[in-house]
Structure 1
């Protein structure tokens, strides 16, 4: 898991400051830095406003059709960002640059803030809001002074995830000709293989990621958000929108249409125009996608299980120290992970270069937190007393865990594996760099056709990618219902 981090450090040391400095302090890097920073500074707040605003409207107001809008706002997660970019480029061929990148990224990634904000709102004690209203506070004052501070962790966590996605995204921005560090690294890698230019850009990009992690950790603070007791037993009284109701409905409809309807309509439009020959490579792409994604999911579960077990059953400094590198490595963009694995395999194990094993290893590094979070939560929910009871009846420890704990962990294992597999099925950057020659996944087949302006040929793969993503999105949305019963 520390290979990508070690790659960044080793690259900087190996190239040396004398050669690295001219590669970093050049006009091209300055342009990329401005583009990337503007994307973060403008895109992250936009997703926070849309995500938190949407969650508040569907959870804390008398908005008509709240159930429909609750699903509509999470639906964009089922559309990969590069497919959304494909849909918008089909609708507006002139879309490009920072404005285009902000439009596509904000629509695609705002659900990453919406989901944690929605889950937090569902778990808040309505007595806090009632107390504020009883003291004469208006609905807006209650939102700003009571609700918003309680959403701090959800906002910071969701914003960090969005920022890391923006740094790592390749396909969506390359499609609309918006240059970021990730798109430039891929171009440099393709033109000079594993040259010093791509490595220097990778050092800058990894540094940006680590800076974001430090900023988020510092902004999180030490405030406590847990309450003692069960809280108020009744649901919160929804705030009345009054005359603002039509405006709220119109805003949510426009947001939902822009994020889901535009890409879907254009996918279907190009699908109707596609030639039957576009479907010929689909069976092979489906098989290879399933095999690689399943291998990555199994690998992630096997790697995550020991640390998840230690973290849940034996919490302490040692388990936290073992767990931290998993998250640090996975926070790095997929392009850095891919470059690290290319370098390591070529230098130390050439037989693994451009093999399925290397691709699956990349999936494990990139998506490991999805498995770890699910497994850790599942293990924490299994009472140790059940194992103790089995052991008191004569069962050996391993037998007790296999017969008692393992069946109870199956839902968590299935959820973590599904999230990793579906993330791997949609992964593009690392797959393009690491996959063996002739490998065809749904994502790479889509990219091959779309980048060649064969929009009809890309449509079938785009539709399959969306359909594969629906179960994972439904699972994530269902997990937000773990708050207060309504």
Structure 2
């Protein structure tokens, strides 16, 4: 199954290779070495680095605040930290631009994409903090280490792999984003590629730009293992201790968290409500219902398929780590930054030449989702699967269990919350996906995202508002599921703290 997933993932690369070969090296170099290409390179790299660094800072702070501290209302802060996942970046960009017409350019794109991707880091770090042993930190403090040294020497090494995984998702999402940067008028590779495909029959410029984007992704993938570091093994008997009391810092931390929540949730919500006051009265209930059903169907199918293949890839990489499995893992990540428009065109190209029966079918759309979002599932699943003690595999084998039975009865039950989180993350991404769905869906099939884009593209903001509102509400369900485990763990820890205080 992992080989099948990798084969599907390299389809865009095969497409690019064939296209670039047809154009010839001279034409490709002429397109690549233009001043415009270097401008796009600078814009894309600068935006990606800025968003990733900010997301890892904000997401890690939110996770520490809600899991490790006793700040009042931390369960509410946990919900607020994950809620921006429910709002597609292009909806958030549309909401800000509708309120502030001059909200455009680099800083606008940085803010919107940071709001949309910081939850990736928050969820990954929260899960790592919940499973890590807080007693180790308390021992370090008892030996005289200050809070900062405890964080750098004890806490950070245990959460670093999760934090870097979240930051990688943030960076790759930024590289491949099309909707937000287009609405906010900031030129990146994705916007230039889309315009090149639509404005000309000459595909050399778009294919050349896409090749540069893939090269940037390769650089990130090469650097990622070094940045992530080694996974710190955890004891299956995790010992929880009392929460950290922030004292005078509590009001400052709460204010910072509330301010960020207001920017990411309140401001876009006000804009959506404002336009819905007009748009709901003009909405067609039948079209809304059909778009809703289609969106949910695609999301469930995409999440299920990605979960199945994600388990296969994660188990292969974690339990049978070798140069070959690492190469398979890197290949899957390689195509994650390829724009959805390129993935869609590659599938159109390959299906027409090899399997014409797949063209304009839901199966082709699901394949596109698998290519685009399998890394999301793998990133969420690898850490919990790696934290399942290998000793249990040996015990199961000694009792006569096969590897498949061990996987079903031991590994998957232990890593169940992480697997569910991966499936929910993919379902959420499918709900928000736009370019590939626009190009590959069956004729006459519309989703909430495609209807929203069709109306927004002709500046019909009132007509687009109902689709945006329903999309945000529906996407809130997997976002809530993603945060459920963290909140449940915090509630359990609150009960433990109260018992300790009574004793």
Question: TM-score, structure 2 length as denominator?
Answer: 0.83
- Pair 1:186-2:194 in alignment: yes
Residue 267 (structure 1) aligned with residue 272 (structure 2):
yes
In 1, Cα distance between equivalents of 2:369 and 2:415: 21
Seen in structure 2, the aligned counterparts of structure 1 residues 80 and 64 have a Cα distance that, compared at 3 Å, is: same
Counterpart among 136, 140, 159 of residue 148 in structure 2: 140
Cα 1:408–1:120, aligned 2, differ >3 Å: closer, same or farther?
A: closer
Matches of 2:306 and 2:43 in 1, distance apart? 33
Write out aligned runs for 1:3-402 (5 A).
Answer: 3-193=11-201, 195-221=203-229, 223-227=230-234, 230=237, 233-242=239-248, 244-274=249-279, 276-280=281-285, 281-300=287-306, 303=309, 324-370=330-376
* CA distance 1:315–1:235, change in 2 (3 Å): same
CA contact (8 A) 1:60 1:239 kept: no
Partner Cα separation in structure 1 for residue 67 and residue 315 of structure 2: 34
User: Which string of whole-angstrom CA distances, capped at 9 and with x for unpartnered residues, describes residues 218-264 of structure 1?
Assistant: 3223x451245735x3424404231x332222111110010011111
In the alignment of these two chains, the number of paired residues is 479
| 8 Å CA contact 2:236, 2:389 repeated in 1 | no
The alpha carbon displacement at 1:355 in A equals: 3.7
State whether residues 40 and 189 of structure 2, in contact with CA within 8 Å, keep that contact through their aligned partners in structure 1.
yes
- Answer whether contact 2:78 2:487 (CA < 8 A) is retained: no
Q: C-alpha displacement at 1:205, in angstroms? A: 1.0
- The 3 A distance-change label for structure 1 pair 61 and 307 is closer
Q: Is the 8 A contact 1:446 1:459 kept in 2?
A: yes
Distance 1:225 1:309, change over 3 A: closer
Q: Secondary structure at the match of 2:155?
A: helix
State the match for 1:444 in structure 2.
Answer: 450
Deviates more, 1:457-466 or 1:425-434: 425-434
Instruction: Name the stretch that deviates more: 424-433 or 341-350.
Output: 341-350
Matched-pair contact (CA < 8 Å) for 2:365–2:437? yes
**How well do the aligned residues superpose, as a CA RMSD in angstroms?**
3.6
Q: Structure 2 vs 1, CA of residues 295 and 219 (structure 1 numbering), >3 Å: closer, same or farther?
A: closer
User: Given the superposition, is the C-alpha separation of residues 180 and 78 from structure 1 closer, same or farther in structure 2, using an over 3 Å criterion?
Assistant: same
- Native 8 Å contact 1:119 1:481 kept in 2: no
Q: 170-179 vs 293-302, which deviates more?
A: 293-302
Other-structure match for 1:464: 470
Q: Is the Cα contact below 8 Å between 2:221 and 2:330 reproduced in 1?
A: no
**Would you say the 8 A contact 1:168–1:335 is kept in 2?**
no
The answer to which of 309-318 and 158-167 deviates more is 309-318
CA distance 1:450–1:149, shift in 2 (3 Å):
same
Deviation at 1:369, TM superposition (A): 3.9
Give 3-state SS (helix, strand or coil) of 2:445's partner. Answer: coil
User: Contact 2:158–2:231 (CA<8 Å) still a contact in 1?
Assistant: no
* Cα distance in 2 between the residues matched to 1:467 and 1:195: 38
Q: Distance in 2 between matches of 1:381 and 1:135?
A: 29
For 1:284 and 1:3, the matched residues in 2 are separated by: 31
Task: Provide the C-alpha distance between the structure 1 equivalents of 2:301 and 2:234, rounded to a whole number of angstroms.
Answer: 41
Give me the whole-angstrom Cα distance separating, in 1, the residues matched to 2:144 and 2:385.
43
The whole-number CA distance in structure 2 between the counterparts of 1:101 and 1:309 is: 36
Rounded to whole Å, the distance in 1 between the matches of 2:326 and 2:488 is 26
CA contact (8 A) 1:119 1:482 kept: no
TM-score (norm 1): 0.85
